[in-house]
Structure 1
């Protein structure tokens, strides 16, 4: 076998959510193995197993020790992989389940949000060469001290991309409960369309803005190592969305899509500067999003962070923080969006016409975001999707400020 015949497939929690779905995944792995492929599958925990484990811990202690939380939360993926290996064996093929430590996944020691350092894939390679289907626990690794660490929400995506890179592959497949990446969350926006392809940068901006189909760090890893990602349904054999190196560096007026966060609080703290606010968050491996200093107070956002973790970060430096928890955010993703006033103008105009008040506006090079009342996020996403013409086929125009479709083939 050659490395080119190997595949790395990642299956999310919904895809392995019960014994029937685990068996279906095993059948898919066996079919690929019998076609002559060497198969590595990275699995998430079954269904809501990680959330259930976290709840058990918080029933016992309000602030469980991060080391023990990682030891606990890593169990879910171990269960998935062992069961999947058993299912593959029941179908008549060899298989082996490996924890991240056994698979050579090394990280730093930041519990709860560890960074990947390297993967020593010798054991994975040996198992493949011995004819086994290999199941590797996602979401986790081992620190230099031998402790189990976890990679943050969605970390199994990063595990799969890193393994693909370590094995010298050009792409990996991410199997999930949706058939690809859409112009918006189809559960909120029925008119959302599946994209055939988009660039790494576009996907990073969508994921950073709340699109949960991929972890942002996984896409950044893919871009750094030249890995294409194929996001596809775990329940069909249809092709999904390819995420590849951005095909062009030329300026474009293409709007990729609309993303949202159902919960995106704004925090306020007094007696601190923006620098000390950022430092308190950085100490907990969290990053500030927007930050505003006004009349002795600092308002800021921490996208993706749990409010309890943010409050704890400031309690550690003897600072009280108030939380405006009734806010969500919607974002329009477009190359160079932050440098284009027409994108912001159109976005704010659409929300105003929809009767939606915008509490805070922020922009980055690839997107413009607005905080709105959490009860209006669905209405806001639909209004923006329609305003930017994302529910119609792509139309290209050469006039300044022309709004075009939702993506480009890759």
Structure 2
């Protein structure tokens, strides 16, 4: 067996998950059908978890006027990493920019309606594209790309609600990591450093930092502080992961922001009937979908949790005489919402087909005895063989494990 460390770029191509083409450009991978299944399933999982936690989903444009990012501060602090503005009309005010972040758009969505304190916290979430003009030398597979599908959300709340919202976001991240089989190596409280480009307001920075420290304490999460890693507009909690080689990266974040609510003049009507400034909590459960999938490929070596696997069940008739019965089992599985495929005798010997499906969580072998009795001999990806089960029971059991969205194959 090779001692080569898992590399998502190699595995992604071997498993037919994603690829690149020079004509599309560096840092712009495309998703193949099996990879698209993983991505779609992951995105739907996040949306479902967010809905259950009280988030409401929106869509916002991938373009915005340059003025929008000047107001938010991104243009002044981040323009070297942004794509050049486009001018679709003759006036300078017509300049458009591919967005480097979703938060200015969500601030405008909040501002579009008046809000009462009774509506808060208002949780707005989006899985949306953003763009970074990364230098070609730092691009790599899915971990560093130029077009990013970002799992992002912004919570508009009162000052008294901010700590609890940040703590709840940490809990949402922890739940997702458990379901995905991801391990956080550490939590980092990222603070400003010397010489960095940060917005002014020492008192607001201090207040935001204190609130994040309280959220970490309330969540019982140990953390380290790191100077120089803050966002330009405020401190943040970074949830750090590591690849098989031990290289760290940030997957998830939680931030408390006083800057953008002021820049966009956001407000709500308080119990006293006057206008108050909301606090903006930024949080991302899985961050960049591309980076999350890259990490999952390496962590699981392509053997994804059953609920995330491109193919969840492969049905293997021993001989051509059982092919019709095996095809019927596939149809039953698909009708239940499972991703199932038939691997018939025309694809090689039974042993070869079993080996070819080694990354599929469940294999159902159907010989003459099983076909006559409507049974399937079950093989699990981890080598266990629970034995022959009635097909209906097997599909019910697999459906239950998939619905549970955990990492255990069998219970």
Compute the TM-score of the two structures, normalised by the length of structure 1.
Answer: 0.24
Structure with larger Rg: 2
Compute the TM-score of the two structures, normalised by the length of structure 2.
Answer: 0.24
